[in-house]
Amino acid sequence: MMRATTGTEPTREEGAPRKKASLQSGGMLGCIKERITQDMFEAVPGKFKVLVCDKLGAEIISSCFRIHELMDLGITLVEDLFILRQPVINSPALYFIAPDREAVDRVMQDWRRLPSYASCHVFFTNSAPDSIINQLAAEQKFVDRLATCKDMFIDFTAPERLCFHFNMIGDLNKLFPPEIALSGGRENILGQVGRRLVSVVHALAAGRPTVRYQGSSRLALTAARNLCEELANVARTFPDSTVNQERTDAPIFIILDRSVDSAEPLLHNRYYQCLVQDLIPLKEGFLYEQAVTTSSGAKDTVVIPVDEQDAYWCQYRHAYFTKCLTEFPAQLKKLIEDNPALAQGMDRGMNLKAVGSAVRALPEFQEKKAKLSMHVDMCSSIMEQYSKMKLSQACELEQDMAVGRKPFKDLFDAVKRVMSDISFPINVRLRLLLLFIATNESRELTEAKKQSLLQEGGFHSEGSRCSSLNLFIARAGRIKQEVSGGDGGSNNNSTPPSAEKRSLRSKLLRGGQSGASSTTSGPGASKTSDPNAAPPTEDPFKSQCQLIAEAAANGSLSNSDFPTINAAVSQAAAGGPSSRASLRAGLLGRRGGSEGATANTYDSRRGPNKGGVTLDLGHEGTVELQSGQRIVLFVLGGITYGEMRAAYQATRASSREIIVGGTSILTQERFVSQLGTLQ
């Protein structure tokens, strides 16, 4: 008889009992999904609906829903706003678009002649300005056919449950421009950040947040002020909005800029997701191109999504890479051994019952086999690059520098040896040099020593990039001096910026955190003095974001280093009536119920509480939270994949829901390449 099982698959939390809690959170991704479902898909009646999106709308929808989920919600067709579409006159059209003139004009074109759909429902990703509302109201024929006009306040992407970003291309160049180019560009992007952070607050639907910021950063202070002013504007325009509610479990927002940790975007983090994105970057961030051989023997390439629908990815993405190297092949071997008939094909002598069982089990078996084969292939590609780039030695030196576990002289000599060793790829040597600059005080690493390292590495043309990193690091000291007389932050002109960062790091570590003491030499190896020591399970370096998040969760985050925004700032924008509500009332008031951002009820089941909340991480398991209050870290200049991992680590360590976000997702390659333009 054929075995009908399909082998083991990732468990939720091995050895951990599942406690049933009365309240549940799906993280940021769950908040977005629930809001879109209830306030957009279910708000429009009908079983056969057409969803029409622009680029931003499509990105948001694709990050939250699969095709079968959309079909279950009555969405039978998804269309691109800017291509020629066939009319579907018996179905309502749901337009999910950015509030800009081009998109709105394209929507109106669908209704200027014969109606293309049964009814028109417009959902804006963010708050539509008065000019857009006036554009809609200018054509009475269109207004007569407009059934819904609503601000969704969702103009950001959540690729994972505890992460989000604004996909702002070139954000580092705009936020950290050369001194000569300090103009309105930076203020413009900081204004966008303030408006889009309101969307994050609104999506969480948990009341008006407490806003804190990096005290040494004028960028963070400005973004915090902009957020508070935008929240006041929304509260004035939509008095019933959740952002106007005072709640005991309202989230804490901590706004940072990239200079808070310049080492993190230079490290080779030895965790599965970090190495995948660093050494074999996924196309569009989640698509893997795998070379395969077809049944006819021809070579071909298949594109496979690597996301939270993949149970194996969720279980292993944050694992130390040595675990992936051993467990993926073992799981694939076990799957095949447990299902020999499925692996080799069905025998002619099988009875009807066995054939039926095999047919039912075959799709699940093939899906698991394909996923495990893909991960084995990805691990092989990583190891090929890892060996080729000599990262077993480079990563160990990087950890020594980042953690500061060796004296300066030893590190300098080690870096100098690597600089002169041409067997190391040039990009690895450059990252090592930049990391050495980022982790050492300027008084120790003199200009003469920098030039010596540049000469050893043959980096005569990279001097400007190193100077840019110096300026990037030093800006923390300059900006701290600028804000010292304002809303917080102490001034100490005698302290070098890197020493100031080390002081902050030491303070965070003393506040209840501790770095791992193990040392490693790369996947599968150990450099500890004990030859019988177990292989390492993590890198010793903890990112600054993880330390800050854990300190905020346990209440030890310094008020002087991370002040709370002055309440008077948020009140400044609250005076005077707004014409916004009346504009919408004139547009849709006679039909009612479509006036925009009203009070949300979908998060009411959380309520003000002190616990009893379960965080559902999907295939990665669940976490019993001590509090329903979320902590949101936002980084101006982008978050790294290592910091995305840190959100999960800090959440589990503190039993608090911690979400990280940034203006973009910042890869090591992008950070290094953009340093050359910051001079």
Q: Does residue 28 contact residue 636 with C-beta atoms inside 8 Å?
A: no
Q: Does residue 36 contact residue 597 with C-beta atoms inside 8 Å?
A: no
Nearest to residue 620, comparing CAs of 27, 1, 2? 27
Q: Does residue 275 contact residue 655 with C-beta atoms inside 8 Å?
A: no
Q: How far apart are CA 611 and CA 614, in angstroms?
A: 9
CATH number among 3.40.50.2060, 1.10.3720.10, 3.90.480.20, 3.40.50.2000, domain 24-154: 3.40.50.2060
Q: Does residue 4 contact residue 306 with C-beta atoms inside 8 Å?
A: no
pLDDT at residue 112, as a whole number: 85
622-625 and 613-616 strand pairing? antiparallel
All residue ranges of the chain with pLDDT < 70 are: 1-22, 178-184, 341, 343-361, 441-442, 471, 473-535, 566-611, 679
Taken in order 456, 459, 462, 464, the sign of the CA dihedral is: positive
Q: How far apart are CA 166 and CA 99, in angstroms?
A: 16
Nearest to residue 647, comparing CAs of 322, 318, 324? 318
Q: How far apart are CA 633 and CA 548, in angstroms?
A: 9
> How does DSSP classify residue 117?
B
Q: How far apart are CA 234 and CA 197, in angstroms?
A: 12
In the sheet that 622-625 helps form, which strands lie side by side, from edge to edge? 23-25, 613-616, 622-625
Could you give the 3-state DSSP secondary structure of residue 78? strand
Q: How far apart are CA 600 and CA 186, in angstroms?
A: 33
pLDDT at residue 583, as a whole number: 60
Q: How far apart are CA 201 and CA 630, in angstroms?
A: 11
Q: How far apart are CA 76 and CA 435, in angstroms?
A: 51
pLDDT at residue 464, as a whole number: 72
pLDDT at residue 479, as a whole number: 34
Q: How far apart are CA 478 and CA 471, in angstroms?
A: 10
Q: Does residue 125 contact residue 57 with C-beta atoms inside 8 Å?
A: yes
In whole angstroms, how far apart are CA 231 and each of 213, 224, 269, 476? 16, 11, 37, 27
Residue with tokens 């004296």: 407
pTM: 0.84
Phi, psi of 121 (to 5 degrees): -130, 115
Could you give the 3-state DSSP secondary structure of residue 93? strand
CATH superfamily, domain 281-347+355-389, is Sec1/Munc18 (SM) protein, domain 3a (3.90.830.10)
Q: Does residue 127 contact residue 87 with C-beta atoms inside 8 Å?
A: no
Q: How far apart are CA 426 and CA 418, in angstroms?
A: 10
pLDDT at residue 598, as a whole number: 39
Q: Does residue 614 contact residue 21 with C-beta atoms inside 8 Å?
A: yes
Average pLDDT, the chain: 81
Q: How far apart are CA 93 and CA 53, in angstroms?
A: 10
pLDDT at residue 584, as a whole number: 58
Q: How far apart are CA 278 and CA 289, in angstroms?
A: 15
pLDDT at residue 585, as a whole number: 58
- In DSSP terms, 122 is beta-bridged to 95, 149
User: Residue-wise over 266-294: b if at least 16 C-beta within 10 A, else e?
Assistant: bbbbbbbbbbbbbbbebeebbebeeeeee
- For domain 158-261+545-566+612-676, the CATH class is alpha beta
pLDDT at residue 179, as a whole number: 55
Helix and strand numbers, DSSP H then E, in the chain? 25, 16
- Rounded to 5°, the CA angle 644-649-651 comes to 95
Q: How far apart are CA 194 and CA 191, in angstroms?
A: 5
H runs (alpha helix) in 238-281: 272-279
